Copies of this chain bind each other. A is one copy, B any other.
Amino acid sequence: MKPMEANTTERILDAAERRIRDAGYNGFSFRDLAEDVGIKSASVHYHFPTKEALVATLTERYTERFLQSLEDAPSGIRCILAYRDAFRRSLAEDRRMCLCGVLGAESGGLPDSVTRQARLFFERTIQKLEQALVGTVSEPHSTAAAVVAQLQGAIILARAFGNIAAFDEATQELAEKSS
């Protein structure tokens, strides 16, 4: 076969990301992904041997991209605003969860490598924010953790209410204090 319009491996990851951020790790099947991409489920296994491997790889890609999108974030208190915008943007795009937010919530039922990658996301995300806050708040680490927690929870609220306004409301004072 001639290669598909785009890299099939990436398109499988794209489909898996959409599905997991909507319904969780156990909320989709290889056949779902295959249909999304336009191939057969056996072909998905050619690119990723197991579901665990697929999602672990996906979570790694997600983390890299997320941190990359914050590469130009300002230092100091305004970095909090950049984080809020990053999460809000991803929510507004497709009304879905943060990938690692879902995985963290479901972590009791996940393969080890996936749980590990999700933890890495939070470690790195919090650490990056912490570094940007050093010198501007009294306890950078706990402040960073508090901000990330609030943003994850705000996405859950927006999903539960089916309304992005709920995210804005739950992060309103965060935006005011840091702008």
Q: Given A22-B108, A23-B26, A100-B160, A145 and B122 touching (CB < 8 A)?
A: no
Within A145-174, the residues touching B (CB, 8 Å) are 145-146, 148-154, 156-157, 159-162, 166, 169-174
Q: Is the interface of A mostly helix, strand, loop or mixed?
A: helix
Q: Which of B22, B24, B139, B166 contacts A26 (CB 8 A)?
A: B24
A143 within 8 A of B: yes
Nearest-CB residue, chain B, relative to A141: B169
Q: Given A96-B108, A104-B160, A159-B105, A171 and B146 touching (CB < 8 A)?
A: yes
Once the chains bind, are B161 and A154 in contact (CB under 8 Å)?
no
User: Given A104-B157, A146-B169, A152-B153, list of 6 further CB < 8 A pairs?
Assistant: A23-B26, A104-B160, A123-B161, A142-B172, A146-B170, A149-B157
Proximity string of chain A (98-113) to chain B, C-beta cutoff 8 Å, 1 when within and 0 when not: 0011111111111000
Give me the interface of A with B, judged by CB distance under 8 Å.
Answer: 21-28, 96-97, 100-110, 115, 118-119, 121-123, 139, 141-143, 145-146, 148-154, 156-157, 159-162, 166, 169-174
**Number of identical protomers:** 2
Nearest-CB residue, chain B, relative to A122: B160
Once the chains bind, are B107 and A159 in contact (CB under 8 Å)?
yes
Could you tell me the distance between the alpha carbons of A106 and B128 in the complex, rounded to whole angstroms?
Answer: 27
Once the chains bind, are A170 and B156 in contact (CB under 8 Å)?
no
